[in-house]
């Protein structure tokens, strides 16, 4: 089972955003699949699991077989998918393999982020490896984060990587462990809007904010978050265990329980404030869930 699927103690939340999360059709309703998710547009949604599925606004289509645990895109016709030992690229017509460079072996690929198609980063869950693609050649660096949990950057010279044991930052030249005591621990999600505005969502410090100088934890929010995404600095969603949803309105976070105690949100992503999707698992019924936010 995916590493994001972890149980949390049920805690009481207060009111969140005024919309609701509505169940959607899933491509494999009989399987307990933890989907990866990428929302490219109003009628352009991708799910990864045991295959790659695409939603065109009407129905889901199984587009390409093979495990996928992470997406990153630069437009509807320029999307990357990673999983296990493969990297694939969508050009608007078909998915194709992106081969490794001679001497580089893809293993346990998990999280992907890029500044452009000529500056793509992938972190894995096996021996702290980070892969970089310059559009032609792959290189690999070994750090000490054990297994990647989250990866996000604002530019080629400002990238954050959260792992099981460490938080790393890339400044355009090298990766450095962030060793201050204010570092968020166990961040399963990273999202931001610039080098001085980054959020970390996780199971220990709940939600933490980076202002360019220090990480500051938000207090009394319930904890147990697995993913975070925002349409704007005053419209951010974090999702987590036991149906937990946090929403930030630019000044404060509010929380609510949108699913049952045995239903864990795993990921959230969108293309606009009116087009936000989330994945989840129902551990009681042993099935995957897909939800869409209706403002």
Grouping H, G, I as helix, E, B as strand and the rest as coil, residue 242 is helix
pLDDT band at 29 (very low <50, low <70, confident <90, very high): low
Mean pLDDT of the chain: 91
- Is the pLDDT higher at 150 or at 8? 150
**What b/e string do you get for 72-105 counting C-beta neighbours within 10 Å, with b at 16 or more?**
bbeeeebbbbbbeebbbbbeeeebeebebeeeee
Q: What pLDDT does 9 receive?
A: 30
Query: Looking at the predicted structure, is the pLDDT value of residue 10 above 70?
Result: no
pLDDT at 17: 63
Is the Cβ–Cβ distance between 279 and 35 less than 8 Å?
A: yes
**Which pLDDT score, from 0 to 100, does residue 142 have?**
97
Indicate the range of 14-23, 243-252, 262-271 predicted with least confidence: 14-23
CA distance 67 to 83: 5
Residue with tokens 């352009």: 44
Domains and CATH numbers, the chain: 20-294 (2.130.10.10)
**Token pair of 281, please?**
């698992």
pLDDT over threshold 70, residue 139: yes
In sequence order, which residues have a C-beta less than 8 Å from that of residue 253 and are 6 or more positions away? 207, 218, 221, 238, 246, 247
Q: For 44-55, write each residue's pLDDT tens digit.
A: 999 999 999 999
pLDDT value at position 267?
97
- Average pLDDT, integer, range 55-65: 94
Q: How much is the average pLDDT of 76-101?
A: 97
Is residue 152 within 8 Å of residue 190, measured between CB atoms? Answer: yes
Encode pLDDT of 193-208 as tens digits. 999 999 999 977 689 9
187-194, strands of its sheet edge to edge: 187-194, 197-202, 207-210, 215-217
Higher pLDDT, 245 or 220: 245
CA distance 265 to 18: 18
pLDDT at position 18? 74
Q: What percent of the chain has pLDDT over 70?
A: 93
Q: Is residue 7 over pLDDT 90?
A: no
Q: Is 243 helix (H, G, I), strand (E, B) or coil?
A: helix
- Paired residues of 87 in beta bridges: 82
The mean pLDDT value for 15-36 works out to: 79
**Which pTM value belongs to this model?**
0.92
Check residue 244 and give its pLDDT: 95
């Amino acid at each position: 089972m995916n590493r994001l699927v972890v149980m949390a103690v049920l805690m009481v939340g207060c009111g969140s955003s005024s919309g609701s999360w509505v169940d959607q059709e899933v491509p494999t309703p009989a399987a307990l699949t933890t989907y990866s998710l990428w929302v490219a547009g109003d009628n352009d949604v991708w799910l990864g699991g045991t295959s790659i599925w695409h939603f065109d606004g009407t129905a889901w289509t199984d587009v390409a077989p093979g495990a996928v645990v992470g997406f990153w895109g630069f437009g509807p016709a320029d999307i990357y998918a990673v999983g296990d030992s493969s990297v694939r690229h969508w050009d608007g017509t078909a998915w194709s393999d992106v081969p490794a460079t001679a001497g580089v072996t893809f293993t346990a690929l998990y999280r992907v982020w890029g500044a452009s198609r000529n500056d793509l980063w992938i972190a894995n869950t096996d021996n702290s490896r980070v892969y970089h693609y310059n559009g032609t050649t792959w290189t690999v660096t070994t750090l000490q984060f054990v297994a990647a949990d989250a990866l996000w950057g604002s530019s080629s010279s400002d990238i954050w990587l959260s792992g099981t044991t460490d938080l790393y930052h890339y400044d355009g030249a090298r990766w450095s462990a962030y060793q201050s005591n204010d570092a968020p621990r166990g961040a399963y999600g990273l999202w931001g809007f610039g080098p001085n505005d980054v959020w970390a969502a996780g199971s220990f410090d709940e939600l933490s904010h980076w202002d360019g100088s220090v990480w500051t934890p938000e207090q009394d929010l319930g904890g147990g978050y697995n993913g975070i995404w925002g349409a704007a600095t005053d419209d951010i969603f974090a999702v987590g265990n036991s149906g937990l949803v946090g929403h930030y309105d630019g000044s404060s976070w509010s929380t609510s329980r949108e699913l049952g105690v045995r239903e864990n949100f795993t990921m959230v992503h969108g293309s606009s404030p009116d087009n936000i999707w989330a994945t989840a698992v129902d551990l009681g019924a042993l099935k995957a869930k897909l939800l869409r936010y209706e403002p």
